[in-house]
Amino acid sequence: MDVSVDQLRTLAAVVDEGTFDAASVALGITPSAVSQRIKALEVACGRVLVTRGKPVRATPPGQVVLRLARVTAQLADDTARELGVGGPAGLARLPLAVNADSMATWFLPALARVPARQRAVFDVHLDDQDRTFELFRSEAVLAAVTSIARPMPGCSVTPLGSMRYFACAAPDFAAAQFPRGFEADALARAEMVVFNRKDTLQHRFVTEVTGASLSPPAHYVPSSADFVRGIQLGLGWGLVPQLQWEALPDPGSLVHLAPDRPVDVPLFWQVWTLDSPPLRALTAAVLAAAAATLTPA
């Protein structure tokens, strides 16, 4: 398969930007040149690599080539930086997948700890910890914080520790909805606050506590900070990361509904095994931050 770095960069740009026109702006070439590069890449691979919709998406064969594109671009950027022939900023681009609760607590400080000489432009994709692995596998980010321990070929997996969650509610909500404690009847009717429709953590917890498959009414609040704020305001109860609860200006604004039943979600660092100084520096910063903040597995 005879492909060029420019063709691979163009594939990544088309998928990242969502349209051929936007990719042309990002790459500084004409839309016609973008189309020609993608067509030449598809001919070389013998497969259709992208859907021509809005947004453009990688086909299953395209996802395989996209992984090659990410890895090749990273190695090319690292080589250019070492030779002193990179772009004006001289910064590598690192696409990452991270669960929202980690991003809201310990992960952003980890990015800030990457040494300046290895600093990169971070392109962070947020999703549920069960779904970041799909981003890692299908969208070919270079690294991910995920709850999946199964390694992808060509990748390494390191345990980070666990995010610990507690069932919490505002004091008035807890008194009104759970007067006799965290019982099945109360759980069936009390509103929950859920991050999004991919988030099954609360539902799994209810099943574990009650032994029944219940479907309580749920508010969907797809922001980690607003998720906690919604619980503080009495919208419903939810599983709050211990790290977020400890960081609240007024921890008394939430009460623990089941303090003896914490939920620990193991997290793992999945990363492509590249000889890339920025990626190595990022990995070191992430592992150090996780060791200092997460619950030991």
Question: In the predicted model, what is the mean pLDDT of residues 193-201?
Answer: 90
Quote the pLDDT of residue 90: 56
Candidates 198, 173, 196, 178; CA nearest to 188 is: 178
All structural domains of the chain with their residue ranges: 1-65, 163-264
Task: Say yes or no: do domains 1-65 and 163-264 share a fold.
Answer: no
Quote the pLDDT of residue 140: 62
- Give the side-chain half-sphere CA count within 13 A for 106: 23
Q: Residue 87 pLDDT > 60, yes or no?
A: no
Quote the pLDDT of residue 38: 94
Pick the CATH number of 1-65 from 3.40.50.80, 3.40.50.10420, 1.10.10.10, 3.40.50.300: 1.10.10.10
Distance of CA 233 to the CA centre of its chain: 27
User: In this predicted structure, which of 112-116, 133-137, 252-256 has the lowest mean pLDDT?
Assistant: 133-137
Question: In the predicted model, what is the mean pLDDT of residues 37-63?
Answer: 91
The CATH code belonging to domain 163-264 is: 3.40.190.10
Quote the pLDDT of residue 91: 67
Highest mean pLDDT, choosing among 24-28, 74-78, 280-284: 280-284
Q: Which position has the token pair 């211990």?
A: 242
273 Rama class: left (phi>0) / alpha (psi -120 to 50) / beta: beta
Cβ neighbours of residue 116 closer than 8 Å, sequence gap 6 or more: none
Angle at 68 between CA 66 and CA 70, to 5 degrees: 70
Q: CA–CA separation, 201 vs 195, rounded Å? A: 9
Largest Cα–Cα distance in the chain? 69
User: 173 and 272 in contact (C-beta within 8 Å)?
Assistant: no
Q: Residue 9 pLDDT > 80, yes or no?
A: yes
Task: Give the CA distances from residue 93 to residues 68, 74, 243, in Å, rounded to whole numbers and listed in that order.
Answer: 15, 7, 29
Q: Which pLDDT band holds residue 83 (cuts at 50, 70, 90)?
A: low
Residue-averaged pLDDT of the chain = 88
Quote the pLDDT of residue 139: 59
Question: In the predicted model, what is the mean pLDDT of residues 54-74?
Answer: 88
Query: Which tokens belong to 30?
Result: 């004409």
DSSP state of 233: T
Handedness of CA 61, 62, 67, 71 (dihedral sign): positive
Q: Residue 86 pLDDT > 80, yes or no?
A: no
Measured between its terminal Cα atoms, the distance across the chain in Å is 43
Q: Which pLDDT band holds residue 11 (cuts at 50, 70, 90)?
A: very high
Q: Residue 191 pLDDT > 90, yes or no?
A: yes
Candidates 153, 164, 165; CA nearest to 270 is: 153
Strands 155-169 and 92-99 come out as unpaired
Q: Which pLDDT band holds residue 88 (cuts at 50, 70, 90)?
A: very low
Question: In the predicted model, what is the mean pLDDT of residues 126-132?
Answer: 79
User: 132 and 139 in contact (C-beta within 8 Å)?
Assistant: no
Q: Residue 265 pLDDT > 70, yes or no?
A: yes
What's the pTM?
0.75
Q: Residue 179 pLDDT > 60, yes or no?
A: yes
Note the pLDDT tens digit of each residue in 21-48.
999 888 888 888 899 999 999 999 999 9
